[in-house]
Chain A
Amino acid sequence: MEIQYSKDSIILKNKSLSNVDKFVLEFVDLLKNHFRYVIVSGYVAILFGRSRGTEDIDILIEKITKSEFFNFVSEIEDRYDFLNPEDREGLYEMLSENLGIRISKKNAIIPNIELKIIKNEVEKYVLDNRLKVKLDKNLLYLSPLEIQLAYKLFLGGEKDIMDAVYLYELFQNNIQRDEIEYWAKYFKIQDKLDNFW
Chain B
Amino acid sequence: MKESEKRKFDENREQILKELEEEKERNFKQKIEFVRLYAEWIKKTPNKEWSKQHSKFINSMYKK
Q: How far apart are A59's CB and chain B's nearest CB, in angstroms? A: 18
Q: How far apart are A1's CB and chain B's nearest CB, in angstroms? A: 5
Question: How long is the Cα–Cα vector from A14 to B31 in the complex, in angstroms?
Answer: 29
- Tell me if A120 counts as interface (CB < 8 A to partner B): no
B59 touches A49 (CB 8 A): no
Q: Interface residues of B: mostly helix, strand, loop or mixed?
A: helix
- Tell me if A7 counts as interface (CB < 8 A to partner B): no
A53, A158, A162: the one within 8 Å of B62 (CB):
A53
B59 touches A166 (CB 8 A): no
B32 touches A51 (CB 8 A): no
Q: Scoring A residues 161 to 173 as 1 if CB is less than 8 Å from chain B, else 0, what string do you get?
A: 1100110011000
- Tell me if B9 counts as interface (CB < 8 A to partner A): no
Q: Known: A12-B47, A13-B47. Contact between A19 and B54, CB under 8 A?
A: no
Q: Which residue of A lies closest to B28 (CB)?
A: A158
A18 touches B35 (CB 8 A): no
B38, B59, B62: the one within 8 Å of A51 (CB):
B38
Q: How far apart are A192's CB and chain B's nearest CB, in angstroms? A: 13
Residues of B within 8 A of A (CB): 28, 31-32, 35-36, 38-40, 42-48, 50-52, 54-55, 57-59, 61-62
A–B Cβ pairs within 8 angstroms, 25 of them: A1-B42, A1-B45, A1-B50, A2-B47, A13-B47, A14-B48, A14-B51, A16-B48, A18-B58, A19-B55, A20-B58, A49-B42, A50-B35, A51-B38, A51-B57, A51-B58, A53-B61, A158-B31, A161-B32, A162-B31, A162-B35, A166-B38, A169-B35, A169-B39, A169-B40
